[in-house]
């Protein structure tokens, strides 16, 4: 019978992680369990830095960005000896199950613990939205809105000076944020890791827009695309006279994931936290808790291991029609 659970956050921080922590703790307490927070992700399991968390300890954190538990890289956890030490520390504190909030790398670590026999449940949280097992992950909506606000602001100054702006957004090797923020922001072009970009054709399209009297142009570039902001800026610098527009580039960087979570991410995180506690109560371990349609679902780790979610080709086609 479950009596004690622990929760940790791992990998890149995402807006809404704190709401997920709060939900796990309060839903666990509602079942009469003792709940513990692990400091600094898997490194905290190695170091044994765990502390009791009750309803009061997680009060007032829902609206905060980042993660109050912290996150850190841990090379030692990648070794068998490191994971054995982590499990030993969990067992010494009487922890019956662990909740891991994070993205692909974090859930791979969680699965490694599960395969060694420790009960683990994951919660889908990454602004990249590349995690199989959830339509959308914690942090994505907030990151998209931050990127969209930046695009809208840059469009104003671009129009004032008849410029083309290249806006680079995060996402590692997944172009979801670039695709969706470019679609919502009315970008003239979007570069993605998943789609080959012809810079020569892009230059022709920008020149055509300039000849037609357009006051600005916005290009949204995914950081993992072959032609990200730096590559495009370099290419266009050699072909500036053919563009019409002068070129400026802006890299949004970590500002996209550092903001306070919006309403959607707070609600999603709360629902996924509750789903994780319910999975533990059913003794359903080795699963990722995510969203499918409007339903909270669980997906076995063995079904998501080594997989990355792909972009919807229909949405890619739509952006090509609308740009």
Q: pLDDT tens across 106-137, in order?
A: 999 999 999 999 999 999 999 999 999 999 99
pLDDT at 241 (0 to 100): 66
Look up 141 and say whether it is catalytic.
Answer: no
Q: What pLDDT is attached to residue 72?
A: 86
Domains of the chain: 4-139+259-304 (3.40.50.450), 142-256 (3.40.50.460)
- Out of 13, 75, 96, 128, the active site residue is 128
Q: Examine the pLDDT at 244 and tell me if it is beyond 90.
A: no
Reported pTM: 0.94
3-state secondary structure labels for all residues of the chain: CCCEEEEEECCCCCCCHHHHHHHHHHHHHHCCCEEEEECCHHHHHHHCCEEEECCCCCCCCCCCCCCCCCCCCCHHHHCHHHHHHHHHHHHHCCCCEEEEEECHHHHHHHHHHHHCCCCEEEEEECCCCCCCCCCCCECHHHHHHHHHHHHHHHHHHHHHHCEEEEEEECCCCCCHHHHHHHHHCCCCEEEECCECCCHHHHHHHHHHHHHCCCCCEEEEEECCCCCCHHHHHHHHHCCHHHCCCEEEEEECHHHHCCCCCCHHHHHHHHHHHHHHHHHHHCCCCCEEEEEECCEEEEEEHHHHCCCCCCCCHHHHHHHHHHC
**Res. 261 pLDDT band, cuts 50 70 90:** very high
Mean pLDDT for the chain overall: 94
């Amino acid at each position: 019978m479950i009596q004690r659970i622990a929760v940790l956050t791992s990998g890149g921080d995402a807006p809404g992680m704190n709401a997920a922590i709060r939900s796990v703790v309060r839903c666990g307490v509602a079942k009469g369990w003792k709940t513990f927070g692990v400091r600094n992700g898997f490194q905290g399991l190695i170091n044994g830095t765990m502390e009791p968390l009750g309803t009061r300890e997680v009060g007032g954190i829902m609206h905060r960005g980042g993660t109050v538990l912290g996150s850190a890289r841990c090379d030692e956890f990648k070794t068998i000896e490191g994971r054995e030490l982590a499990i030993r520390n969990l067992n010494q504190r009487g922890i019956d199950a662990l909740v891991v909030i994070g993205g692909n790398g974090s859930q791979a670590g969680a699965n490694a613990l599960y395969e060694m026999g420790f009960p683990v449940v994951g919660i889908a949280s990454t602004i990249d939205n590349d995690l199989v097992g959830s339509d959308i992950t914690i942090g994505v909506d907030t990151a998209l809105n931050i990127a969209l606000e930046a695009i809208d602001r840059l469009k104003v100054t671009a129009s004032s000076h008849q410029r083309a702006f290249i806006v680079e957004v995060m996402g590692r090797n997944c172009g979801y944020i670039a695709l969706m923020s470019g679609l919502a922001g009315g970008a003239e072009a979007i570069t993605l890791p998943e789609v080959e970009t012809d810079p020569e054709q892009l230059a022709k399209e920008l020149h055509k827009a300039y000849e037609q009297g357009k006051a600005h142009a916005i290009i949204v570039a995914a950081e993992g695309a072959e032609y990200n902001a730096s590559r495009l800026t370099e290419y266009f610098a050699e072909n500036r006279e053919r563009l019409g527009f002068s070129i400026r580039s802006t890299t949004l960087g970590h500002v996209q994931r550092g903001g306070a979570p919006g309403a959607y991410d707070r609600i999603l995180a709360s629902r996924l936290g509750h789903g994780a506690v319910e999975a533990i109560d059913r003794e359903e371990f080795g699963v990722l808790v995510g969203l499918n349609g409007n339903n909270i679902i669980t997906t076995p780790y063995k079904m998501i291991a080594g997989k990355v979610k792909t972009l919807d080709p229909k949405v890619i086609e739509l952006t090509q029609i609308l740009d």
